[in-house]
Chain A
Amino acid sequence: MQIYLPIADIPVNIFLILAMGAAVGFVSGMFGIGGGFLMTPLLIFVGIAPAVAVASVASHIAASSFSGALSYWRRRAIDPALALVLLSGGVVGTTLGVWTFTLLRSLGQLDLLIALSYVVLLTTVGGLMFWEGLRAIMRVRRGVAVPMRRSGSHGWIHGLPLKMRFKRSKIYLSVIPVVIVGVIIGFIGAVMGIGGGFILVPIMIYLLRVPTSTVIGTSMVLTLITMLFATMLHAATNHLVDAVLALILMVGGVTGAQFGARAGQKIRGEHLRLLLGLLILAVGIRFAIELVIRPDDLFTIRETGGAG
């Protein structure tokens, strides 16, 4: 069934968009990531203008992360204090990111820089997660006792001042690294146009040693707030949010996120990390291939305004 999108100005198959929303929603619910890095390329592939896709995806991510966050909240798997501290850094990072974005655009070659940072970030993060997950599984297979995650492995991070007790996560940690992580995520999110959940989750697990039980829920809260913010910004400044497209994506997305969250709770932590690592790595490699392989068409057209 075809439906006409009022802002994107093209007709699309409603079931295709629903299915795409559900699939990405499932992934985002399962891993606690926004899924923007998956959804945006899919929408562009269907023929929606990149700017409209990015803007509309923000509201879709907000919906599915809200639905996911609610179910994590009921399971007491969200650390509000941790989320708040991360968010305070996130605001600063986003502001810095938007400023950098404007600067880079005036210098030209922004598209290339974004594509390159996608490749570097996705393949590095994905590769590390995949490798770590694989090793954890091998250890379990060989019957070697998995070392306690939070015992004695403190490095310099735990020597920092301004320590704070995050009750829900049962960790006692300095706020400095948490704020810095928030700044980094906010910055990357603004420059690359993604929620940043897929970077936040591994950083929280490996660097901040936040227990896996609260990582995903807390990261979802951060994603939710950033994406609500992004939706408002896109709607108020660029007028590019397609509400009809967003609604279809949301309906598919929230449904998928529910099943994803349930599936995520059933899978063991190291398997989950392995899968997520594999997914991120695959997307990263896809971006890399796109850069290296000779494209089917060397030419592209873009409308630069003046319509009418």
Chain B
Amino acid sequence: MIARAPFTAVGLALLLGAVFATPPARAERLIVSVSNHRVTVTPNYSGEELVLFGSVEKDATTPASRTSYDLAVTVSGPHADMVTRRKERRFGIWVNTDYRQFLQVPTYLALFSNRPFDEIASPEVQRRQQLGLNNVQLTQRVGPDYADVVPNDAFRSAFVRLRSEHGLYREATSAVTFLTPTLFRTGIPLPGEVPIGTYDVEIKLFSDGVLVTRTETAFEIVKVGFEQFVATNARQNGFVYGLVTVFMAMMSGWMASIVFRKD
């Protein structure tokens, strides 16, 4: 205890120093919550909409001149490797010729803000903070390298477009609404085919084109009850699961021939 006391004191001093040394940009705090942290998938599940709400807490150090804020919310689902293929005409038929591999990209991605991203921040900041689908990092395997490419790359834009068509990638620059100058909310629509897993929500607060503060929260989509039971058994007891399915097939075939037997 005695030995550690000086370190604690130093640590505290550093911490206080850090707090005071930080420019006034640190003067706000974000408090957020999602309406449901655990979305359960039941037999009649066909998508859901969550609500994210929160408030901007100011303190004494907040410059009095700062009155308007901008918010950017990023929701990203479980990551996975995906392949985008392109068809080309060869010998009169359309075949897959070229492909690109996307490495550990989010299976669900939603970008929300209270107004268009280019009104919130400069292109440079947008790129650094990954604001907008054009600025989100989507790593591709390009030959032996790993890199993201320009937003108008054919494979990248096709990828984003196809995901968007299924409602799995989305960008809405008017989705965040400020109820009061500091209280905000946004809806997070989850279509029926969203993948199971953990979803990260990142909320960034901007003022005058500068990132003021950020915070994170998360929610998960899980299977419960019957769905969970079936999925677990299919994975862990494949052989028994197969036998049960086969038995089910035989039974339903037999029952039908009894029920519909012509007498």
Contact = CB atoms under 8 A, between A and B. Distances in A.
Report, as a range, how many residues of chain B touch the other chain.
Answer: 35 or more
Contacts, number: 204
Contacts of A234: 242
8 A-B pairs with the lowest CB-CB distances in the bound complex, closest first: A235-B242, A66-B253, A254-B256, A299-B158, A67-B253, A63-B249, A258-B260, A70-B257
8 contacts: A6-B227, A10-B192, A62-B250, A254-B256, A292-B93, A300-B162, A303-B82, A306-B80
Nearest to B93: A291
Given A4-B43, A232-B243, A298-B86, A292 B92 contact: yes
Interface of A: 1-4, 6-7, 9-11, 47, 59-60, 62-71, 74, 109, 111-112, 116, 228, 231-237, 239-244, 246-247, 250-251, 254-255, 257-259, 262, 290-295, 297-308
A246 B249 contact: yes
A258 B257 CA distance: 7
A307 B241 CA distance: 23
Contact of B238 (A71, A116, A237): A237
A232 B246 contact: yes
B141 to A, nearest CB: 11
B42 A254 contact: no
Nearest to B42: A4
A231 B246 CA distance: 7
Contact of B47 (A9, A11, A235): A11
Contacts of B92: 292
Interface string B148-176: 00000001001101110000000000000
B249 A59 contact: yes
B68 interface: no
Contact of A236 (B79, B242, B248): B242
Given A47-B193, A239-B234, A243-B241, A305 B253 contact: no
A269 B92 CA distance: 38
A64, A251, A301, most chain B CB atoms within 10 A: A301
A241 B85 contact: no
A68, A237, A243, most chain B CB atoms within 10 A: A243
A6 B231 contact: yes
B245 A243 contact: yes
A235 B241 contact: yes
Interface in B223-260: 223, 226-228, 230-231, 234-235, 238-239, 241-246, 248-250, 252-257, 260
B93 A254 contact: no
Contacts of A308: 78-80, 197
B212 to A, nearest CB: 33
B163 A301 contact: yes
A235 B239 CA distance: 6
Given A11-B192, A255-B256, A307-B195, A246 B245 contact: yes
A255 B155 CA distance: 45
Interface string B64-93: 000000000000001111111111110011
Contact of B250 (A7, A66, A293, A301): A66
Nearest to A72: B257
B4 interface: no
A262 B234 CA distance: 36
B239 A236 contact: yes
Given A11-B45, A246-B249, A262-B262, 15 more contacts: A6-B223, A6-B231, A65-B253, A67-B253, A67-B254, A112-B95, A228-B249, A231-B246, A237-B238, A243-B241, A246-B248, A291-B95, A299-B86, A305-B81, A308-B80
Nearest to B88: A298
Given A232-B246, A307-B78, A308-B79, A4 B45 contact: yes
B51 to A, nearest CB: 21
A144 B260 CA distance: 39
A228 B94 CA distance: 35
Interface in B84-131: 84-89, 92-96, 101, 104, 107
